[in-house]
């Protein structure tokens, strides 16, 4: 286990680490080969575009605020699931999902993935990256595949 035994304090990340990933603040709490858990502050009116973790299950435990998670991108039949404090969002391996804070208020939550794979390293690489193409490129190298933007045709 990379974090060893003990306690990660409520205001602390592992080794004092916190990342700014497109405006979301991610603070790692536990990191082993089997699981990676981080606290997240998700500002109002921000989102994580639809993407797939082909090698990990992911979940979110909501602490404060509200998030919406969309599924069904593969079939074009997108469904929206709302989650608030105490709710757990389940995002199975290989299932495309997008995460949105449309609530008008900040949300806080705890994310996790299992197994950890390359996500810890990815967040370190994405810290402060603002170019969407670079974010997509780096993510693909670390087993997170973003879906292409929807077509404007119609």
Q: Is the pTM of this model over 0.85?
A: yes
pLDDT digits (tens, 9 = 90+) for 46-67: 999 999 999 999 999 999 999 9
In angstroms, the Cα distances linking 89 to 32, 70, 112, 128 are: 22, 11, 10, 26
Q: Where are the domains of the chain?
A: 33-143
Question: For residue 1, what pLDDT is reported?
Answer: 52
Give the dihedral sign, CA 88/92/93/98: negative
Q: Look up residue 142 and give its DSSP letter.
A: T
Phi, psi for 12 (deg, rounded to 5): -115, 150
Q: What is the mean pLDDT of residues 80-88?
A: 98
So what CATH class is 33-143? mainly beta
């Amino acid at each position: 286990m990379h974090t060893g035994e003990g306690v990660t304090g409520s205001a602390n990340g592992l080794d004092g680490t916190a990342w700014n990933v497109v405006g979301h603040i991610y603070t790692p709490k536990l990191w082993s080969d089997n699981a990676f858990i981080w606290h997240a502050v998700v500002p109002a009116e921000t989102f994580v575009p639809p993407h797939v973790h082909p090698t990990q299950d992911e979940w979110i435990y909501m602490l404060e605020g509200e998030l919406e998670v969309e599924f069904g991108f593969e079939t074009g039949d997108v469904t929206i699931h709302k989650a608030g404090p105490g709710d757990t969002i389940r995002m199975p391996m290989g299932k495309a999902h997008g995460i949105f804070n449309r609530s008008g208020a900040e949300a806080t939550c705890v994310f996790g993935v299992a197994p950890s794979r390359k996500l810890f390293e990815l967040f370190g690489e994405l810290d402060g990256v603002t170019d969407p193409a670079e974010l997509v490129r780096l993510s693909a190298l670390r087993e997170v595949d973003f879906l292409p933007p929807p077509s404007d045709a119609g």
